[in-house]
Chain A
Amino acid sequence: MARTTEVDRILVSVIGNRFDAISKEIGQTMLRTSRSPIFSEARDFVTAIFDREVRLVAQTAYIPILMGAQPYAMRSIAQHFGDDVDEGDVFILNDPYRGNNHPPDVTVVKPVFWEGELLFWSMSRGHHADVGGGGVAGYNPGARSVWEECVRIPPAKLYVRGEPNQALWDVILINVHLPFLVEGDLHCQVGACNIGERSLRDLIAKYGKETLYAALEQMFDASEAQMRAVIRDVPNGVYTGERYIDHDGIDKDRMVGVRVELTVEDESITFDYSESDPQAAGYVNSTIGNTTSGSFLALFTSIGSEVRFNEGALRALDVIAPPGTVANAAEPAPVTANTIDAAQAIIEAVWLALAQAVPDRVDAAWARWCAPATMGFNPRTGRPFGDIHFMAKGGAGASQGLDGWDHLGTIVCSGGLRSPDPELHELVDPYTVLQYEYWPDSAGAGEWRGGMGTTYRFRVDAPGIPAAHFGGGNRQATAPFGLEGGLAAPHHVLALRKAGGEVIEVDTESFYNLDVGDVYELQVSGGGGYGDPRRRPVEKVQQDVRDGLVSPEAAESLYGVVVDPVTFEVDAAATRGLRG
């Protein structure tokens, strides 16, 4: 334990804010300098600070599904190296069975020393455009083991006392398809950690380690108190939720079940996933880090939005996920799709459970992620490329008093996933975007309507491009559910129109080959609705029809509002007749 120094409450606030600011600063560097559009355009990364006891001090989660998993990676690195940590070292990890959540999210962390003593860790974790293996941008729906998914990097030193560990760089870069992107992004992550180190050293210089550590203890206690206060407002009880992953890519006819038993007892919550299906043959399996992260995210997006996320907040929470279940697969099961497929099902299941206790704090389901990753060579630029098609973002779920946000993307990103710029996308990747706009009638109807989903169509301008389509919500059972009488959104509608005229119905967790002239079409669903659609104010329904978001037919059949398709006048009598 740290030696305790008396620190007043005010200084705790000041120092707490400073740690948060440093974590953000690390994030800004990632955002501005990364190569992979997955990092820099979509912001698929997270940054954090840990203390010398490997406790989470602060973090910035643009993509929050990465947030709860970081402590596992940090502990794994710290345990592996013990005392063998020197100033100027930089560590790397991506192996999901050595603490990482899934292989494409590469963890880079730098110890921060002061007067020869290790005091903090500065961490960045981001989704790389490629981690080798037999997949596309890391996604291999055909994988039956982790070796088919990636080059596995156990906890290792990327720099030793400030000097690059060249052999490791060489091994990594020779094992990936896009070394040019991966190398740049690893530098970006190291740079981000350097920025964090610089600011943390300034902070130590200013306050001294005793004061900082005394403040940390109080920060953790304060976050714990926040979390416990939030949980106190949820009635005690055991609540259950069940949701399904579309399938695992291997057995395409079988959905994979995630079941949670949520026990709320006074000031603590236990998430128990014991009743979930056994681990799957394909790559939808979760790791304990990812399952923990999904559980926390489900809380932070419902009851815990104001809680400062650090080690203290986690003390009130417990996750049980027996090894061998889909919630905690055993080595060497494949796992890459877990931050999407397993996490989405976990969060939805937890929300369904919570909705039994506090329905006004929970959103209807958000549209699940469901789009391809593609990789190849772009003859126009003369360079290889790798990308995930982030324009295909669905709508957010509605909640008590609020329509869902449009085109916000999956809940695992919680509104932090920035849609790419179509022009920058065309500049780098060999595609022409043909359509990128809201998909009418894609949202779940409700007194509060789900957010709009998106129609995204692109033409392929280069030959021989493999696409790995991944994600869920491609069938009605996995489409976004409504709450409190709100309706589910439709499932996605996906097709690949080959240049030769053939139309292929696209399934998720599958490979497709793209060639010049092919058109890939995605209609990605909106969010679920909240509350009875017949209670939605008539003017709002009329407005949605005027804006072309809801068809006159849907207005009539789902909302009970009759709107003239040309003048947009409401037929009051007919509407009264339907609404009663």
Chain B
Amino acid sequence: MSLRVGVDIGGTFTDMLVTDESGDARLYKAPTTPDDPSIGLMEALERAARDRDVSLDAFLGEVEAIVHGTTITTNAVLTGEGAVTGFVTTKGFRDVLNMRRGLKARQFEKYAPPPPLIPRHRIHVVEERVTVDGEVMTPLAEDDVRTAARLLADQGVEAVAVSYLWSFLDPTHERRTGEILQEELPDVYVSLSTEVLPQIRVYERHSTTALNAYVGPVLRRYLVRLREELAGRGFGGTLLIMQSNGGVMSPELAQRFASHTLLSGPAGGPLAGVFYGATHGLANAITIDMGGTSFDVSLVAGGTPTVTTEGEIGGHRIASPVLDIHTIGAGGGSIAWVDSGGLLAVGPKSAGADPGPACYGRGGTQPTVTDADLLLGYLDPAFFHGGELTLDVEAAKTAVGGIAQALALDETEAAAGIYRVVNANMAAALSVVSIQRGHDPREFVLVVAGGAGPIHAAEIARELEIPLILIPRESSVFCAVGMLISDLKHDYVRTYARDLDKVDLTEIDSLYREMADDARATLREEGVPDDRIETDYAVDLRYVGQFNEVEVPAQSGGEVTAEALDAMVSTFHARHDTLYGYSMPGAPVELINLRVSAHGVTDKPQFSTVEAGGGDPSAAKRGERRAYFDGEFVEVPVYDALRLANGNVVAGPAIVDQPTTTIVVPPGFELVCDHYNNFLMHPEGRDLAELRTQLVPEDARLVAAERS
């Protein structure tokens, strides 16, 4: 039997999902070991092997693929513990990297800027210059490179990034610099911007390349060790690493393009949205993940998660494509406070996991969202995280009491206020990824990951009139499922800046072909057969004179004809109108970037379905609890999520306890257990079949075009 394993290394737990060909899927957990995450990973594998009564070696011998999501690079950046890195750039431009385009995010506050990834004394300049036309204005001074290499050696660098002006037009200088550095510094990790991101915009290219070098050695060390360990225990399958763009890649590639993993932590979320949506034939989904300190939202349209090139980590830009995950500071640990004008605010400050909410009894005294959820009766103080923690109601009361006093409300009203404000903040975050980008949330299913999400989901959905909510039975599976369904994916970009009436179709063709050939070669190296390779083409267009582009698919595939170009321009006008409230048909349009995104399609795990039972949920009822709905406490039934069976219907108001979280079913909603034993929630009286017609799978891009 061949097994597939998805591993998601979270802050606290390493979650592992193991699936087989029969559709059996089992979840294992082990504590995360931050110093060396592979220990926790191996422990989870041990647990999976024990569960099957086989040795680890025997178990691993049957594993065909391990898909691994790692936050080791992310943590390195956030804690400033990446490699000692140097930077080599064009003379005269030493500080473009650290200027970070001269912006301060919170303009009126006094605070220190994010520390530079690479301090100025490790940034070395080299005489060389390519012009806007791609011509060499100043030849590369190889002596400068050698001098820089010697200084970098003295500085003890483990990695060097190289990024020159206009290098994507003529990569010769960068390549030669790379050769010299490899000669002089054979053990040092070298990243060239022309390999990492050959695309216009200096700071964005610098920063992406610098990040790649900064985390490259960290990931390389980790992967080398992990692969040795796995191989030593009989693993002969494929190890795949999760990327920020929602695809996976081989460890060899991951070591070269380590920066592609930086935002991969939440990338399983949108993919899980694709998967869970598909279980009901739905191609449009909004996924939410409410953790302790933050709330992640993403949107899947037409079965495809949305992608952005505006990623950021620790104040540093990543301009390579990443899944578009919008994050705000709203989580269970978010602190509620009353501002100097007497208005209630929630977040973005968080009590985090330590000390955590007041009710954790670990010394936290500030009122948090979790404290409010507890006082409102949504959480069971005796059964939090499956009984791992007993919540201190008195501590929550005291904490929320402070807020209540300032607002002249009682504790319950204040708690309800916190609940409402945080719900509204989260709903606003959903509107950023949907309404503001031209999508109507009423056409989407809301897929809710674990954490505190299911406590708040119904109210968020109500705010945006989202008609259907889907909550996986075991929310920890969420990201791991996303990983198991992901394809190998590689993105390529070439800047080709021309007025549309001056483009040379054969040049476009050859650039596309070059990227597609690269893509195929890479995927073949990763073992993907040709018939499993899919290639998407796109262009970045803008009105002449604009400074930002709109990405438009090249519908004809790689071969670009004049007609195909016209079609892209029409799509561009329509998309511009939807996004920005106007378009200018007839105004000149220019092309900036050509993009290719190549997938190596992987086998998707199958999950087994369950027989339908009756609608009566009473077998799963485990008691009653007083909870706050519509302005008063009422006695509501409490159900055990794990005992609810396919077809069971729970009418609100009710509470469904899951092992690690709670689903709140408010009055006016009902919850149904589906054929995968996941939960659907929707307004009472709505019929699932009817909802499905509202949520019919559709290509959001086409929808946008029609609407304009």
Chain A positions near chain B (C-beta within 8 angstroms): 8-14, 16-18, 21, 25, 28-29, 31-37, 40-41, 61, 64, 180-181, 184, 187-188, 190-195, 198-199, 202, 219, 221-226, 229-230, 300-301, 304-308, 312, 363, 380, 383, 393, 396, 399, 401-403, 405-409, 414-419, 421-424, 426-428, 432-438, 452, 457, 543, 546-549
Contact = CB atoms under 8 A, between A and B. Distances in A.
Nearest to B99: A407
A421 B545 CA distance: 14
Contacts of B200: 421, 423-424, 427
Given A21-B432, A224-B341, A414-B104, 19 more contacts: A17-B428, A21-B431, A35-B543, A37-B547, A40-B547, A188-B580, A190-B582, A194-B582, A306-B340, A409-B102, A416-B103, A421-B200, A423-B166, A426-B131, A426-B132, A427-B200, A428-B545, A435-B93, A549-B120
B15 to A, nearest CB: 33
B325 to A, nearest CB: 17
B280 to A, nearest CB: 28
B343 interface: yes
Interface of B: 92-96, 98-99, 101-104, 107-113, 119-121, 131-133, 137, 165-166, 200-204, 339-345, 407, 409, 416-417, 420-421, 424-425, 428, 431-432, 435-436, 497, 543-548, 576, 579-582, 584, 587
Given A407-B102, A422-B165, A438 B584 contact: no
Contact of B104 (A35, A399, A405, A457): A405
A40 B546 contact: yes
A33 B428 contact: no
A402 B112 CA distance: 7
A37 B548 CA distance: 10
Nearest to A10: B417
A223 B543 contact: no
A122 to B, nearest CB: 10
Contacts of B92: 433-437, 457
A13 B414 CA distance: 13
B499 to A, nearest CB: 8
Given A187-B582, A380-B132, A423-B132, A18 B424 contact: yes
A226 B341 CA distance: 4
Main SS class of interface, B: loop
Contacts of B428: 17-18, 21
Nearest to A413: B107
A64 B106 CA distance: 12
A437 B93 CA distance: 5
B190 to A, nearest CB: 23
B101 A418 contact: yes
B111 A402 contact: yes
Contact of B121 (A10, A434, A547): A547
B401 to A, nearest CB: 16
Nearest to B546: A35
A221 B199 CA distance: 50
Nearest to A419: B102
With a 10 A CB-CB cut-off, give which of B102, B203, B547, B581 has the most chain A CB atoms: B102
A199 B543 CA distance: 25
A187 B584 contact: yes
A87 B344 CA distance: 35
Contacts of A221: 341
Contacts of B102: 393, 406-409, 415, 417-419
Given A35-B545, A402-B112, A423 B201 contact: yes
A198 B440 CA distance: 13
Contacts of B107: 61, 64, 301, 414-416
Contacts of B344: 9-10, 13
Contacts of B581: 29, 190-195, 198
A57 B345 CA distance: 18
A181 B543 CA distance: 11
Contacts of A223: 341
A419 to B, nearest CB: 4
18 contacts: A13-B343, A14-B420, A33-B543, A33-B546, A191-B580, A301-B108, A304-B108, A305-B108, A406-B102, A414-B104, A415-B102, A422-B93, A423-B200, A432-B137, A434-B92, A436-B92, A437-B93, A549-B120
B543 to A, nearest CB: 6
Given A40-B547, A181-B545, A424-B201, A406 B98 contact: yes
B407 to A, nearest CB: 6
Contacts of B113: 405-406
A9 B343 contact: yes
Nearest to A26: B581
B93 A184 contact: no
Contact of B417 (A9, A21, A64, A399): A9
Contacts of B131: 426, 432
Contacts of B96: 422, 436-437
A438 B95 contact: yes
A180 B546 CA distance: 11
Contact of B544 (A16, A188, A195, A383): A383
Contacts of B202: 421-423
A549 B121 CA distance: 10
Contacts of B101: 418-419, 421
Most A CB atoms within 10 A — which of B96, B131, B545, B584? B545
B391 to A, nearest CB: 24
A427 B497 contact: yes
A33 B425 contact: no
A327 to B, nearest CB: 23
Contacts of A434: 92
A32 B548 contact: yes
B108 to A, nearest CB: 4
B582 A421 contact: no
Contact of A184 (B201, B421, B543): B543
Q: Which of A195, A422, A543 has the most CB of B within 10 A?
A: A422
A407 B587 contact: no
A393 B95 CA distance: 13
Nearest to A43: B103
B658 to A, nearest CB: 28
A155 to B, nearest CB: 22
Contacts of A307: 340-341
Contacts of B95: 406-407, 436-438, 452
Contacts of B497: 427
A418 B547 CA distance: 13
Nearest to B424: A14
Nearest to B550: A32
A433 B92 CA distance: 9
